[in-house]
Amino acid sequence: MNGGAGIKLEESDDNRIEWVTAADNGGDGFTLNARSDHNRVRDSSASDNDGSGVVITVESDNNRIKRSSFVRNMNFGIAVENDSDDSRLERNTAIANQIDGIFVQDTSDGTRVSRNVANENGNQIDDHGIDVENAATTITRIPPTRTAT
């Protein structure tokens, strides 16, 4: 319930954010900003934030987001943008975020999106579960959608 981000790293490398909940913040749940490299967000959650669940931005490279959940955030569940390269997004859940569940901007190279679930995201026709603008992004092992019987 902070006015800005729940946790913001700026020009900060090699940090581990594990088992953390960031909820109801006025900004993003987690922000990795301004050349924050080699950081890990694992087994954490960000929900009901006025920004995104987690944003990797402004030349922040080689970051990992793993086994975390991002639910009902006002922007993206997970966003990789502004020349942030070589991120790994693995086994995350992005549900009911207002824009895309997972977004990779065209300026961010080498992102790997693996075994993520992204459902019920976006309010507009151009919003998506996973929205990738960069051809140098790899998406692997998307789990099948299950329907109730």
Model's pTM, two decimal places?
A: 0.92
As given in the structure block, the two tokens for residue 40 are 């890990």
* Token representation of residue 102: 């997972």
| pLDDT of amino acid 11 | 98
Under 8 Å between Cβ of 71 and 96: yes
Rounded to whole angstroms, how far apart are CA atoms 48 and 37? Answer: 26
> Which tokens belong to 59?
């030349």
Q: Which residues, other chains included, contact 117 with Cβ-Cβ below 8 Å and sequence gap of 6+?
A: 92, 93, 94, 95, 143
Q: Output the tens digit of pLDDT for each of the chain's 149 residues.
A: 899 999 999 999 999 999 999 999 999 999 999 999 999 999 999 999 999 999 999 999 999 999 999 999 999 999 999 999 999 999 999 999 999 999 999 999 999 999 999 999 998 877 899 999 999 999 998 666 555 55
